[in-house]
Amino acid sequence: MKELIHYLKETNRSELKKEIPKEMKKDNIHGLAIALVTKEEIIWMGCFGFTDEGNSKKIDKDTLFSLQSTSKTVTALAFQLAAQKGLVKLDDQLVKYYPDFKVNSRYGKDQYKKITFKHLLTHSSGLAREARLGGVFNYDECSFEEHIKSINNSWLKFKVGDGFSYCNAGMDLVAYVLELITGKAYPVYVQEMLGNPLGITFNYDTKEISKMENSAKGYLGDYKTIPVEPSGYGCGIAHLSIKDQAKLVQFLLNLGSVNGKEILMKDYINQMRTPFGNYNYGLGTEVMDTFGTKFYYHNGGGYGFISEMYWSPEHDFGIAVFTNQEYNLRFIKELPQRILESVFKSKEISPDSTSYPYANSPQKDIKVILLDRLVGVYSGKEGILKINANAQGLYIDRGKAKERLVSHNELAFSRENTDGLIFELERNENPKGFKYFSKTYGLAYFNYLGRITKEQGPNRLEWKKHTGLYLWNWYHTEFAINIVKIVDGHLYYENDRLYEHESIPNLFFSFLGTPVIFEDEFLYKDNTKVVKLSDPVGYFETLLNEDPEHRALQGWVFDQAIEKLKTLKGEEEAEKISKLKDKFHSSSN
């Protein structure tokens, strides 16, 4: 360990101090803070750049950054502290403490009663990702209680406990119940139970934080973001300085102890880092299997911030990284990975020990009938992959983009001979899932969900009113044009086929169970409001005349509108928007 600390202090530190500013300039990163820690020592803390594009204040060890989804680890710790006190149990049902909670399900009217805190903390409840009010994508100003109540009457995606679907609303429900059982506002409870014992200060009032001189301001490319409303307590609005984040990582490295004093018993910490099913996610904790060993992390991104936190109690090392630039993620993702690789190499742990075993195997031609049995939709913590096949072989299907896979045998395929997939079959030869070997993310597992059939749809006349362009706005700052269309008699949202509910009008579900509910001038997808553009040309004309600096007047937003109008046979409108784009760019130049 002494040799490792010396290496990190002397060699790595000098290299990183030179490299980080260069990479920040290249990727338009205004501010960055990083800490490397062991159980006993903060090895190095580096602060670079400024809080904003105007270079108003240099980043220092006390500058506040948004944790975003790294807040979920804090939420899990807060819950475990309450469980340790006997106030609640991990397997308790949510409705025991929040009897007014109720959501709908296609799998039985009482399905929601089965949701436990374990389901919420592992993203296996089946809840829609967001609440209808407040949170990440829905900006109505509301209280935390109103935010939570707006989860009611939404729809579950799958049977409780039967899958993994990343869910901000579930984490906020945990925070809300902690308020109910402790009688304290969640930020107060977290500070008293976790912040004070660790000697750190958690900040949740996002509006006040944004006004502070020593708080980083978030950026999406060149655009400064608008602070989120302080309602997503459990999922993503905690703020810490790098100094305090380093102490939090040390707390996790020490399995719940601070300076030899146990704050949270080891059993509760170990519960957090035990994966649920095959999804490499414990309680507010991601489990990474790479470099020949397991370690733990959580990251977060949103409102112009990136937060990365890694720790390995077994190897006594942890990393925390903050930036106030959400775009251009290459360096921010590579940086902790490279440091971890150097640490594990110094411990003689090969970074290639979990690499794809068929990486150097020759390509083989596989019969189409054997490839066809693998076709379908697969779900993992890293997302969704659609696998398809034709006479040329197996490929990852992203609509127009098709990534060809190299076949090595009937079940083993690679992506550019580095990352690879090994399929597993049930006894009946149907797919069970596949192991995914990634140089970047380590070993992950994807479960087979089924295949999308190709039969002609009913092409209902009443669906026509739903078709058109929709404006999706997230983080108050970013805009995208989405499309609802009819293809082969089926209704689609973007590339997701929608399946109508058997008895409730205007209610649909994607193949993965995501609810889509159409209302007069908008729709809700995953409880996120998306507004219909009944007059796309008029929308852009109004912005150009009244608000030419509007964030929606970006090249790709124009391009999305043009392309999708053509899909809807709206060539005349597409041509008008193309001319508006040319006019906008000529006036901008």
271 shares its domain with 404: no
Residue with tokens 């109004």: 542
Q: What CA–CA distance (Å, rounded) separates 437 from 460?
A: 43
434 shares its domain with 542: no
Burial of 90 (0-12, 13-18, 19+ CB in 10 A): middle
Write down the pLDDT at residue 504: 96
311 shares its domain with 184: yes
112 shares its domain with 246: yes
pLDDT digit of tens for each residue in the chain (589 aa)?
Answer: 555 565 566 656 778 888 999 999 999 999 999 999 999 999 999 999 999 999 889 999 999 999 999 999 999 999 999 999 999 999 999 999 999 999 999 999 999 999 999 999 999 999 999 999 987 777 778 899 999 999 999 999 999 999 999 999 999 999 999 999 999 999 999 999 999 999 999 999 998 999 999 999 999 988 898 887 778 899 999 999 999 999 999 999 999 999 999 999 999 999 999 999 888 899 999 998 877 788 999 999 999 999 999 999 999 999 999 999 998 888 888 888 888 888 887 777 776 666 788 888 899 999 999 999 999 999 988 788 999 999 899 999 987 788 999 999 999 999 875 689 999 999 889 999 999 988 777 888 999 999 988 899 999 999 999 999 999 988 778 899 999 999 999 999 998 999 999 999 999 999 999 999 999 899 999 999 999 999 999 999 999 999 998 888 988 999 999 999 999 999 999 999 999 999 887 776 5
Coil vs helix vs strand at 529: strand
Q: What CA–CA distance (Å, rounded) separates 436 from 477?
A: 34
The answer as to whether 354 is a domain residue is no
527 shares its domain with 438: no
Residue with tokens 């942890």: 318
Write down the pLDDT at residue 277: 85
106 shares its domain with 156: yes
142 shares its domain with 289: yes
Backbone torsions φ then ψ of 94, nearest 5 degrees: -55, -40
Q: What is the tally of structural domains in the chain?
A: 3
Q: What is the pLDDT of residues 139-189, one digit of tens each?
A: 778 899 999 999 999 999 999 999 999 999 999 999 999 999 999 999 999
Which of these, 126, 144, 299, 167, lies nearest to 230 by C-alpha position? 144
Q: What CA–CA distance (Å, rounded) separates 248 from 35?
A: 11
Length of the chain: 589
Write down the pLDDT at residue 381: 80
Question: In one letter, which amino acid is 283?
Answer: L
Write down the pLDDT at residue 401: 84
465 shares its domain with 441: no
pTM over 0.75: yes
Write down the pLDDT at residue 16: 86
Query: What residues does 509 pair with on adjacent strands?
Result: 499, 515
Write down the pLDDT at residue 329: 83
224 shares its domain with 292: yes
Q: Which tokens sit at 531?
A: 């507004």
Helix extents (H) in 61-116:
71-84, 94-97
Domain that holds residue 273: 32-346
429 shares its domain with 479: no
425 shares its domain with 482: no
The answer as to whether 233 is a domain residue is yes
**DSSP-assigned letter for residue 292:** T
CATH of residue 195's domain is: 3.40.710.10
59 shares its domain with 185: yes
Write down the pLDDT at residue 465: 96
| Cα angle 91, 74, 316; round to 5 | 105
Q: Where are the beta strands (DSSP E) in 29-81?
A: 31-37, 42-49, 64-66
Pair 360, 417: CB distance under 8 Å: yes
Q: Where are the beta strands (DSSP E) in 313-411?
A: 317-323, 376-380, 383-390, 393-398, 401-404, 406-407
Pair 317, 300: CB distance under 8 Å: no
**Of 424, 450, 476, the domain-final residue:** 450
Give the mean pLDDT of the chain. Answer: 92
Write down the pLDDT at residue 340: 86
The answer as to whether 17 is a domain residue is no
